[in-house]
Every structure is written in structure tokens, then in C-alpha cells.
Amino acid sequence: MQGFTPFRLSPYFRTRVWGFNDLSPWYDFKTDGEPIGEVWLTGEMCVAETGPLKGQSLKEITAVHGEALLGQGRAGQEFPLLIKVLFPKEKLSVQVHPDDTLAQKYGEPRGKTECWYALDAQPGAEVALGIKPGTPIEQVRAAIAESRLEELLACVPVNKGDMIFVDAGTVHAIGPGAVLLETQQTSDLTYRMYDYGRPRELHLDKSFEAMRLTTGSGKMTPKKMNGHSVLLDQKYFRVEQWKGTLPSVENAFADGVQLLFVADGRLKIEGAGFEAFSLNRCQLAVIPAGARDWKITPEAGAEVIRILPQSA
């Protein structure tokens, strides 16, 4: 258990054709090369920036210390969730992700269910969640062939503070104008159904096999709890919003790893056996299952998103 104190992870900047060359004011990151569309916060290549495990990647930490990190009986497992911040400058392709059963049919360990929390949104920002009700599959196929699938997408406006659930099997797309905190199963399985005529590969057979016309996707209504809001409580993850009173070892009921993301403000994490460290906006800390005697102190009106993996 030695070394299993809270630690901050470094972000990893991923190039995407639909991203930005300048991520300010969210991150102090500019590039003259390919634009950055995603900032991975719990990618396997993300490195511990603080504590006794400083310099080790999340993949290395999980492989060697899986049970102390993730919880009892979870040794040998992958880190369960991939957390990202998305910066779409252009509309993303129309996609669908498989569920666990379909992914395993093709030899993959799991599917991909995800959610988006809107850190910011400009007027007119929207996402597509599903096909318009009553649309037959044959019409969807014809619309793709005729480059007009956008006509059939059910679009949802996005406002700052919205939580949007994207169940596996949902045809979906992200438009420009929002900054989204994405929580997803650790999986990179994406079937591209439509790309507005851009010359990228489509995966039509698997897309139609994966898609479901009725899913649990949509905007979620927060549930007020003692001192915080539960934004989403689903099969693979629970996402909470904390303001003022913040989670600590005394009030956290988690029996596994906890992830703390600062949506606004700043906080300090301190405790026995490790040097105190700060967490600024858009930074993420890992609270291992084996961590004890830690506490956090909010600064500058901190808003914290706490993410808890849940057993499927």
C-alpha cells in the first residue's frame, strides 16, 4: 500500500482535425502543427506529477498496484474510465459505439458508453443524439448514400452545466461551440457512420449492427444530495458536482478509485504520507482506493466534478 496517496496526473494532448491550435484559456497550450481536439486526463500515457509515484504512467501504476489503486479484487484490470476534455472547432463525424456484448463478439474487452458535461457552451451549440423517432432503418441507409443524414438526426441544444448521457448504440455527433468533459469506458471503439463527405473511412456494417433506435441517452436532471449534486448515476460511472463542501475521506462512500476534476477555481489536497499539492482548473487528481487520511481545501470558489467508476 506504500505510495498510495492521492496524486495529480499530467494531461496528454491529442491531435484531431476538428480541434484548435490554441487551447487558452483552458490550457496554456499552443501549437503550429496539427490542431488539438482532445485532452486526455486518465489516458494510460498520462504521468503522475506528484507523490511517491511521480514520473510513472497511469498504465504502469495500474499494472503494478492495481488492487491498491482500483479496489479489492481488481488487480490485473485496466484503469476503468477514460476522462477527456473535448474542444470541437468543427462538427465531428456521426458515430455509434458498440455495447459490451457486440464489442466482445469482435474480440474487444468492452464497448463504449459515455457522457458529456458541458464546461462551457456558446449560443447555438448542439449535439446529435439518435435518429428522429419513427425513421425506418432503410431511410437512414438511403440518407447516408445521398449525403443527407443530418436531416434525420435528433439534435439537442447544449448549455453550460448540462450533463448529457450517451448510451452505447446511440447514433451521435458533437457540433462546435462547446467545451465538454467526457467520461467514458476505457475503449477506443468508434464506428463512423457519416462524415459530411470528408474522405475518411466509414464503418457502415458495424454501425448498423451497433445502432439502437431507442436508448437511454439524453440530458440528465441533477439530483440534489447533501452538499452536492449527482449529475449522472449509470452502469459504469457516477458523476457528481461539488461546490463549497467538498468530498473527503469522511464523507466519500466510494470503495474504489475516485477522480477529482476541477471545473472552476482551485483546491489543495493534503494528508499523511505525501506532500500537499494544488489542483487548478482543468486538472485532475486520482484518489486511490488505498488512500487514507487525506483532505481537500477549496480555494477561489472551487467547483469539483467527482467521478466514480462503477462495476458493470
Q: What is the pLDDT along the chain (312 residues), one digit of tens a residue?
A: 445 899 999 999 999 999 999 999 999 999 999 999 999 999 999 999 999 899 999 999 999 999 999 988 888 999 999 999 999 999 999 999 999 999 999 999 999 999 999 999 999 999 999 999 999 999 999 999 999 999 999 999 999 999 999 999 999 999 999 999 999 999 989 999 999 988 889 999 999 999 999 999 999 999 998 778 999 999 999 999 998 766 654 445 457 899 999 999 999 999 888 899 999 999 999 999 888 888 888 887 889 999 999 975
Q: What pTM, to 2 d.p., does this model score?
A: 0.95
Boundaries of domain holding 177? 7-219
129 domain-assigned: yes
| Domain shared by 239 and 292, yes or no | yes
Sequence length of the chain is 312
Assess whether 241 and 206 both reside in one domain.
Answer: no
- Of the residues 192, 219, 246, the one at which a domain ends: 219
Which of 219, 254, 285 lies at the terminal end of a domain, its last residue?
Answer: 219
- The SS3 assignment for 227 reads coil
Nearest CA to 283 among 26, 5, 20?
Answer: 26
Catalytic residue, chosen from 192, 238, 266, 306, is 192
Shared domain check, 241 and 95: no
We report the CATH number of the domain holding residue 259 as 2.60.120.10
Name 152's Cβ contacts closer than 8 Å, sequence gap at least 6: 131, 132, 135, 139, 140, 143
Domain-embedded: residue 1: no
Give the integer Cα–Cα distance in Å for 204 and 130.
Answer: 16
d(CA 81, CA 187) in angstroms, rounded, equals 8
Quote the CA–CA distance of 168 and 192 in Å, as a whole number. 14
Q: For residues 43 and 162, state if they share a domain.
A: yes
Binding-site residues for Zn(2+), in ranges, read 97, 114, 172
| φ and ψ of 207, to 5 deg | -60, -45
Whether 247 and 277 share a structural domain = yes
- Residues whose CB falls within 8 Å of the CB of residue 284, separated by 6 or more in sequence, listed in order: 8, 9, 11, 41, 42, 83, 259, 260, 261, 262
Residues 176 and 290 in one domain: no
Query: Is 281 an annotated catalytic residue?
Result: no
> How many whole angstroms separate alpha carbon 79 and alpha carbon 142?
40
Q: Which of 163, 184, 219 is the last residue of a domain?
A: 219
pLDDT of res. 3? 53
Question: Which amino acids are annotated as binding site, given as ranges?
Answer: 97, 114, 172
133 and 209, same domain (yes or no): yes
77 lies in the same domain as 100? yes
In a domain, 70, yes or no: yes
Which runs of consecutive H residues, i.e. helices, occur in 50-195? 58-64, 66-70, 100-105, 137-145
Tell me how many domains the chain contains: 2
Q: Cell triple for residue 92?
A: 465531428
